[in-house]
């Protein structure tokens, strides 16, 4: 069995649980805005997408959210609300440690600088990773095929030589269209079974 030369893992809902309810609740307290309003506010004009591709700065993002709400939210309080989506790790640390001994682990994620810096402070599992391909650094979001091409260039591997795991079907299909072996993450047991089948665990 030929083992992959690299394992690319998404972060949100693969490495760590995401829950947007605490963000909505905090923003209701801070600004009196309802969850449906908050979602519309963040998605209008591709605001979050622009932030997660590095097209606007953290300060500009915060300022624009406050402008749209019509309320000035202190930066520290806003950051704490923004961080509140993160929950518990979904893959046991010992599993990642074992994997890292078999194959280089790389995170391939749509994220922003504030979220990523918070995660690296909070979660110890990132110590197992050889590198990162992050949307806010490369200016592209999955499922754009170009972000996968950048990832392959970074690890100096062909598409057929890597494995990719994500929780979104669209991202899995985009990777597979390039010839990357990929599967959708469901839970830790399913993840381990898929990797055992590929000789990685």
How far, in Å, CA of 106 to CA of 68, rounded?
36
Which of 32-36, 50-54, 89-93, 129-133 has the weakest average pLDDT?
Answer: 32-36
Cα distances (Å, whole numbers) of residue 184 to 32, 99, 163, 169: 37, 18, 11, 7
**Residues contacting 93, CB < 8 A, separation 6+:** 124, 125, 128
Model confidence pTM above 0.85: yes
How would residue 1 be classed by pLDDT, with cut points 50, 70 and 90? confident
At the topology level of CATH, where does 6-17+88-197 sit?
Rossmann fold (3.40.50)
CB atoms closer than 10 angstroms to residue 144: 17
So what's the pLDDT on residue 193?
98
* Rounded percentage of the chain residues whose pLDDT exceeds 90: 98
At the topology level of CATH, where does 21-83 sit?
DNA polymerase; domain 1 (1.10.150)
Q: Where are the domains of the chain?
A: 6-17+88-197, 21-83
Kind of pairing, strands 16-18 and 105-109? unpaired
CA nearest neighbour of 84 among 36, 20, 140: 20
| pLDDT tens string 120-132 | 999 999 999 999 9
Once rounded to an integer, what is the mean pLDDT over residues 64-73? 96
- 192 has a pLDDT exceeding 80: yes
- 2 has a pLDDT exceeding 90: no
| pLDDT tens string 102-154 | 999 999 999 999 999 999 999 999 999 999 999 999 999 999 999 999 999 99
Cβ-contact 83, 112 below 8 angstroms: no
């Amino acid at each position: 069995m030929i083992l992959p030369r690299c394992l690319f893992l998404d972060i949100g809902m693969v490495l760590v649980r995401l829950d947007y309810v605490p963000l909505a609740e905090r923003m209701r307290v801070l600004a009196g805005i309802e969850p449906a309003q908050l979602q519309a506010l963040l998605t209008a004009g591709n605001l979050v997408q622009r932030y997660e591709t590095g097209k606007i700065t953290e300060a500009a993002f915060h300022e624009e959210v406050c402008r749209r709400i019509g309320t000035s939210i202190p930066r520290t309080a806003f950051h704490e609300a923004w961080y509140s989506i993160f929950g518990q790790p979904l893959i046991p640390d010992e599993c990642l440690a074992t994997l890292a001994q078999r194959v280089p682990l790389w995170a391939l994620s749509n994220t922003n600088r504030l979220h990523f810096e918070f995660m690296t402070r909070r979660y110890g599992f990132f110590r197992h990773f050889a590198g990162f391909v992050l949307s806010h650094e490369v200016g592209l979001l999955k499922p754009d095929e170009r972000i996968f091409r950048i990832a392959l260039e970074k690890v100096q591997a062909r598409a057929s030589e890597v494995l990719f795991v994500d929780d979104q079907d669209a991202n899995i299909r985009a990777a597979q269209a390039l010839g990357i072996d990929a599967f959708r993450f469901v839970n830790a047991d399913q993840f381990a079974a898929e990797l055992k089948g590929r000789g990685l665990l």
